[in-house]
Amino acid sequence: MTSDLFLLWTIQLAPLAAFLLLFVLPKGARRAAPVVGMVFAFAAAAASITLLFSHAGEHGGFVYEYKTLWLRVTEMALWPGVVMPEYVLSAGFLVDPLNLLMIAIVTTIAFFVQMFSYYYMAEDPSRPRYFAFLSFFSFAMTGLVLACNLLQTFLFWELVGLASYLLIGFWYEKPAAATAARKAFVLNRLADLGFYLGIVFLFFFVGTLDFTAFRPDALREAMGSGWAAAVGLLVFMGVMGKSAQFPFHVWLPDAMEGPTPVSALIHSATMVAAGVFLMARAFGLFAASEAALTAALVAGALTAITGALLATVQRDIKRILAYSTVSQLGLMVMAMGAGSPVAGMFHLSTHAFFKSLLFLTAGAFIHRFHSNDIWEIARAGGKKDKLAMAALTLGLLSLSGIPPLSGFFSKDLLLEALSERSGFFYWIGVAVSFLTAFYSFRLLFVLLFTKPGHAPHAAHAHAPSPFLSACRAVPLVSLALLSLLIGALGTSWGGSALLHWLGGHDAHLDPTIAGTTLVLASIAVVLAFFKFRDPAAAETRLEEEGGSWKRALQHKFYVDDAYEFLVKSVGLSFAAALNWIDKRVFNRLFVDRTSGAVLGLGKLLSRLQSGLLQDYLSLAVGVGIVILLFVLKGTP
């Protein structure tokens, strides 16, 4: 298996090499920066696809570990009362079907995004920094996916967080971008605190963090059900932060301030899916307690509904897609909570392709028409861009679950998993898919039915070089094809290859579920058609209509306001109280008193220092006499 190891190292280190190379790139070679990024991303993608196909023949949940001992601590070296006789940490790669699928998705999309970025960032003066950060993200993400234990995952988990922060704030001179980057970073740190505590407790009780050791029964036995639930919930907190689950979801829509290809790669397809991936990766950990799974189900349901509702009132094309991502992530987490990692991962895979496709088309529109607003794009003649329009339509159809496209199959499997778990959550899933179809077609119809006017930007004529246009077209077409094809792998026509690969059962379409979603989707389409047949009227309606429901939607259900209240009122007054205690109690009572006592003692002693030689002499003689008397007394 030496070739495996070689491929693994290539996947892991190629993006890092690109990152380092881009940082030492001489000034004269700055134009080559995108090429460097692209070439190394291609190497990683090629290696991971080779690896995937070299294992494609194997069935039955193979697991290979390439790891080396990192740290071993025995009972002797620890404080008394530890639970386990030995604590072992290792470092290395884990190779199993789940990893191979995820790494192939990550590196492929990363390559296409690098390529598209060449087009999108063609005029940006700090391109080398952009491509360096993008490569750094790929490095961190591959590390996260390939890690063989939870601590290693956590390290790379933080690195992808850092990359996300750097790329959201790439245009840091824009205050909105800087604020959004900070918001994402702070919210993620907050959630990761829980994740970290979970890791600490888990290590304390189990003595190992290897994913292969996470079997529900063994964990329950080692920790007891109370601790198993606590650890599961704490680790799930990290998932909630990274995968933007309610109430941590507020950072993701703001993260759209970053460059659009970044949103395509990080904030829709890979990094935000890392939480879902982690749930599948360490599923035993969550399955060890009913509480963690229920929490996932509830958090996912809240997120899915919130995201889908908010997506229906946005004007900004990226924000529509961002809220859609939030809601789809909610669905995946729900599937995990329903106990079906296969359904969750299948939806993750299809979603990764069609959502990155959607973001890249959004990027194509934004780059061409210099606006994020769908009405403005439409008026500027958005529908004349045939390629982007076709890709957008394909992505949106897939997102709303229209049959021949991938989204339909994965959503169907997901709903099936939910219906097996509970009727209530199944209906939430159905409602979300109804809303999904509605906001998807809202976006499509607004672009399609608006009459192009004389928008100020329409005259902006791009005459890109052939290479630039290729960098724009190739990723769109390839991702469109991939999102067409990958769905078939999860159906009986594709031999359920993807489901078998992940250890699931044969695909079979449940006619009731498929029928329900199809009927609801068509209703949503018809509804969207009648509401947005006349986009100009819909725009005025959006601007003018009032009502408390509308206000709630516009305030994003007051989650941001709740955070602001928490920080400004509760947090700041708590800080003020602490400040008072520090000043009055600690400073005045302890610090000032101590220093005062020392100072007084010093003043007392300094009186002895009269500066007169004879005073010192008398003291010396006096002390000498006293000592002499003691000595004489001691020797009778």
Partner 1 sequence: MSESLGAYLFISTALFCLGVYGLLSRRNLVAMLISLELILNSASLNFVAFNKFSLINKAAGQTFAVFVIALAAAEVTIGLSLILLFHRKRDSINVEDAGEMKG
Residues found near partner 1 in the complex (CB under 8 A) = 606-614, 617-618, 621
Q: Are 372 and 316 in contact (CB under 8 A)?
A: yes
Paired sense of beta strands 86-95 and 64-74, if any: antiparallel
Identify which of residues 587 and 618 has a Cβ nearer to partner 1 in the complex: 618
In the chain, % helix, strand, coil (3-state, to 5) comes to 75, 5, 20
Instruction: Please tell me the distance from the alpha carbon of residue 587 to that of residue 428, in angstroms, as a whole number.
Output: 55
Q: Could you count the other beta carbons within 10 Å of the beta carbon of residue 612?
A: 9
Report how far residue 207's alpha carbon sits from residue 203's, in angstroms, rounded to the nearest whole number: 5
Q: Which of 96, 97, 107, 124 is nearest to 33 (CA)?
A: 124
Q: Which residues contact 412 (CB under 8 A, 6 or more apart)?
A: 401, 509, 510, 513, 514, 517
The whole-angstrom separation of Cα 539 and Cα 447 is 12
Alpha-carbon span 145 to 98, nearest angstrom: 9
For residue 632, the minimal CB distance to partner 1 (Å) is 15
Residue with tokens 């001179």: 173
Least CB distance to partner 1 at residue 612 (A) = 6
The least CB distance from residue 581 to partner 1, in Å, is 38
Residue closer to partner 1 by CB (options 613, 632) is 613
Which CB sits closer to partner 1, 461 or 632? 632
Distances (CA, A) of 88 to 95, 145, 185, 578: 20, 21, 31, 40
Of 574 and 616, nearer to partner 1 (C-beta) is: 616
Nearer to partner 1 by Cβ, of 80 and 602: the residue is: 602
Give the Cα-Cα-Cα angle 155, 159, 163 (nearest 5 degrees): 170
Minimum CB distance to partner 1, residue 626 (Å): 15
Of 573 and 618, nearer to partner 1 (C-beta) is 618
Cross-strand pairs, 69: 90
In the complex with partner 1, the residue whose CB is nearer, 459 or 631, is 631
- Nearest distance in Å: CB 592, partner 1: 24
Write down the least CB distance from residue 598 to partner 1, Å: 16
Helices in 490-591 by DSSP H: which ranges? 497-501, 511-532, 535-544, 548-554, 559-565, 572-581
Q: Which is nearer to partner 1, 461 or 613 (CB)?
A: 613
**At closest approach, how far in Å is the CB of 611 from partner 1?**
3
Smallest gap from residue 594 Cβ to partner 1 (A): 22
Minimal distance, residue 605 CB to partner 1, in Å: 8
Closest listed residue to residue 359, CA positions, set 327, 330, 316: 316
Rounded distance between C-alpha atoms, residue 66 and residue 49, angstroms: 19
Summary count for the chain: helices (H), strands (E): 27, 2
Of the two residues 69 and 621, which places its CB atom closer to partner 1 in the complex?
621
